[in-house]
Structure 1
Amino acid sequence: MKDTRVSSIGERALISVLSKIFKAPDGEEKGDEGILIGAGSDDCAVLDLKGEDCLVVTTDMLHRTTDFPEGMTPWQMGWMSAAVNLSDVAAMGAEPTGLVMAIGMPADTEIAFVEELAKGMQACAEFCGTAIIGGDLDTHAELTITGTALGRVKKSQLLLRRGARPGDLVCVTGYTGSAGAALEALQSKKPVSETVLKALFEPVPRTKEARQLASSGAVTSMMDTSDGLAMSLYDLSRQSRVGFRIREDALPILREVREFASSPEELTELALYTGGDFELLITIDPEKLKKVQNICNLTVIGECTKYEAGIVLESPECELTIIAQRGYQQLKA
């Protein structure tokens, strides 16, 4: 008998099912003129502001038991709740313009806990040049936070998951695998540096870097890596219809993470298949690389290929292996 539960298909497949119901119009189709990008295809929906700008909108839900690891402070929970939304705004190349946060909590929650939660949210918002502009409070069986972030960007600078072309360079900001190593350390009770722990507890939305990247004119596509580098590569591949050849020895991995990994296989697992880093995955016109090299900590990790070539990892010995389509997914059993 076919398994009909959502756990049998996971988050991405369910999004695809729901997007067909919502019938989100695409900017290239004759849909509602006010909606440039609808549900399902990108990090944010995009609304036409009838001038040279557009509005990007995203929402994300976090739960105490599934999204906040043991050891997080209320301030860090608040920071993360804002960061996951602001990272989506960054992925579109947009300037954040506000956050609306809804908090559901048990009735016996301490007031001091909620105050620290709010301070963390506001700190992250201020770091990204915006603020909490409203929200809602309610009782709930467990702490549940739903954020909605708004951003503004010129239509000519809007960055999408589609747009990459064979020959473009593949880059990432920051480091990969740090949050995954932190989570593994917590679960296995192994010691790890504060730097690595912060990657998990206090992810930094790349909003400032994203604005500069968008205005450079060098970026052909972009998204964030919150669900892991491998999963993000597949998402970008589907939308842009390109393949990727990623160089294993080019992956930017913190020294502490390299030392933490017990084997080369575990290091590859951390770098490719664990989520929570909230970095930007970017494709760049190779002729315009100089325009972005000094914007931020940006590493070229490979290049775009023909879609039929798939997504592969090239070892230092030039051996190719297929990068699997897996990473962090909600709802998956």
Structure 2
Amino acid sequence: MAVFTPVSLEQLSDWIQQFPLGRARSIKGISSGIENSNFFISTDSGEYVLTLFEKLHIEQLPFYLELMRHLAQRGIPVPAPVANDKGAIVTLLNDKPAAIVSKLEGESQLDPQPLHCAALGDMLARMHLAGKDFKILQPNLRGLAWWLETTPSVLPFLPPELASLLADEVQYQKDFAATADYRALPRGPVHADLFRNNAMFVGERLSGIFDFYFAGCDTWLFDLAVTVNDWCVDLDTGALDLARAEAMLSAYRAVRPFSPAEGVAWQPMLRAAALRFWLSRLYDFYLPREAEMLTPHDPTHFERILRLRIKETPPAL
């Protein structure tokens, strides 16, 4: 994604010799995103994606990479990690943990229609079920604990009305997380960042889901809410597009029916999903890191979405 740590073709050529991929032919930085350094690389064996992890420690990475391998082995179209000659899927490059994964075919669908949303809803439900027996446990690192920790560092930058909105919503989510309905929600490994640019289509066929580096164990409903809040909204206003939302929800429930607790929690989880990205965008906007290619996202987009999710009645599960 954004390039914080440059990698030259010469550096890649030396490092890649430990992998069964042949020679490195080219490397190109990927400019979108703000978390890791990502590159498209071309080798004698084909095209891959190289990631250097800027925030995650090497001991955290097995969760993400082994989850991807676990899902790929169960038929979910996700990038598969490539192991080196010692069987390791994470090694150091330019003093950063680094991994190579397969590159998905197709392109992102940035103007999704109901059929694209249905395909994604179906696959998201299948992905959740496929992850039920994944053995590694790690919380969603951008969940409630992070909201409580991060909010005080952002509040001083905000005018009083926005500061009040943020503080009130964090308290609302803290209170809801203590309820029996929340504790009853089905949960497991989730993607937690499944935006339009993190899925690939070939024509109308969903060819894969990628960028699992915000994944963690959380409620499946939160994962669905994150996805609906991006795929099923008007980007100018944040309003839900009911046709797209119903297509996604119908396809999801056909694979995994919703529980009664999920029906109660649906609006709170849509609010939680909006809060998570509003807060992270506020943090990146006011407390940015330097990067070679970095464009912080506009925080007001998810502020608008949060305001709407607070006052509107969402489509029923």
Same fold (TM over 0.5): no
Greater fraction strand: 1
Q: TM-score by structure 2 length?
A: 0.36
Structure (1/2) with the larger helix percentage: 2
